[in-house]
Amino acid sequence: MTERRPQQVSSRPWREALRAGHRSINGTAEIGTDRQRGVALLLAMVAIAILSVFSLEFTYQSRVAVRTSSYVESEIEAYLHARAAVELAALVIGSTDIVDAILGKYASMLGGRKPNITTAAYACEFVNAFCKGKMTLMGIELVNLEDSEAAGLENGSCGCKSSDEDGRVNINRVGNLKEKQAVFDTLYKLLERHEGSSRPGDLDKDMAQVALNVIDWADEDNLRTDINPSTRKLQRGTGAEGVSYAKNGYKSKDARFDTTAEVRLVEGMTDGLWCKIRNQLTVYNTNKINVNTAPLDVIKALICKNLANPNQEAVACQRSFQGQVWTPVDAAAQYLEVCRTLKKLIFSPPFSSPIKFTRFFDKLGSVLPAEYASVVRINRARMMADVNTRGQIVRIVSYGTAGPVTKTITALLDTTSRQFVYWRED
């Protein structure tokens, strides 16, 4: 009997199928891995982009914050410089008693006469010396403390200028008819010389009405103030003063001016006229006009108001045409300004008393043509009632700088009470 052997089956197809399965599985895995890598790369790029934006924004905000903090620091430093200048000027002005005592003690060395020096006029010279560390007079260096730590500023600068508010016309002195008359006489002459159209000596009705409107705005009643054209004396009116303001949508204030800028609301006050007189008016408690500091236009108004012979006003106070005519009042005022300037350069007040001011006009004949000097003679008694040589209210304008910042402070100091009556920061 023949023995039969089992048939051998070839394993090659199975092996090939197994290899094909492995290849299929491996291929699918490779495809999945590539996709995952692509998604991960995309997410990484998006994250980097977002972080870059955040980083740039943070950098920008940081730079803005640094610059802002630096500007704020400079602003504070500039303000403190300006504030220091104001306070130091006020301290010098308030030391009048000390200065007078020193001058009195050494009066014998000065010829036996104590000079009439007002600290207000030269307070800012001391302030500027403190800020810069040195002081000069007429180009000559008097003091140099630049190497001293107590004088001068390491960063920035400061300084100030002072002026006397009493050199201006007080438009708030309207408590009674007498005060109104005094204000009108000076204010009218000031307005008339700027924009008057009538012949000097004749009443310019338009400028007279503007002056009356200013007075009526500040007085307490609501009645118009009238004027007698022939005598130019004011008299209590009967009509209501607010009628002319109805078209503007407001009424006459009937109370004192708070600032000179308020004058622009007065009926008849144009922008052009306001620009000409704004630095010649004040609303503070001044009585007589300080002729040592008054603007030349105010001095001219006082001369024309107090001529010894009012009939010569048409000649003495004629208005120049486009600045081409040199009139007697212009010549007298310019000569007075030369004297004031020379006196100030040597730290001396131009006029020590009102009587010295009135005597100035007696000397004009030696420096001006006779025909000029004769028509600008003044009535001493009337002039003495209007003028003074000392001030009460001092305007201090200080500045301070630090980096790109400049700060300005305007302050008005009452030298009697030694209190600030006005304060403005810019």
What's the pLDDT tens digit per position in 12-42? 655 665 565 555 555 555 555 666 777 777 7
Average pLDDT of the chain, as a whole number: 80
| pLDDT over 60 at 199, yes or no | yes
| pLDDT over 90 at 299, yes or no | yes
pLDDT in tens, 365-383: 888 888 888 888 999 999 9
Position of tokens 């002729």? 291
| pLDDT over 60 at 7, yes or no | no
Task: Supply 75's token pair.
Answer: 């602003």
Region of poorest pLDDT, from 96-100, 376-380, 419-423 = 96-100
| pLDDT over 80 at 226, yes or no | yes
pLDDT recorded at residue 372: 85
Closest CA to 282 of 303, 307, 256, 301: 256
pLDDT in tens, 310-353: 888 888 888 764 454 678 888 899 889 998 888 877 767 788 88
pLDDT in tens, 116-129: 667 777 788 788 87
Residue 212 banded pLDDT, cuts 50, 70, 90: very high
Instruction: Report the Cα–Cα distance between both ends of the chain, in Å, rounded.
Output: 133
Concatenated DSSP letters of 100-130: HHHHHHTGGGGTS------HHHHHHHHHHHH
Instruction: Please report, for the chain, the start and end positions of each structural domain, with discontinuous segments joined by +.
Output: 77-167+393-425, 172-273
What 3-state class would DSSP assign to 59? helix
Closest CA to 153 of 178, 176, 131, 182: 131
pLDDT recorded at residue 73: 83
pLDDT recorded at residue 106: 57
The fraction of the chain above a pLDDT of 70, given in percent, is 79
Closest CA to 204 of 314, 356, 130, 346: 314
What is the fold of 172-273? Ribonucleotide Reductase Protein R1; domain 1 (1.10.40)
Concatenated DSSP letters of 236-253: EEEEETTGGGGGGT----
| pLDDT over 60 at 11, yes or no | no
Decide which of 355 and 417 is more confident: 355
Query: CA 42: distance to chain centroid?
Result: 63
**Degrees, nearest 5: CA angle 127-286-237:** 150
pLDDT recorded at residue 397: 93
pTM above 0.75, yes or no: no
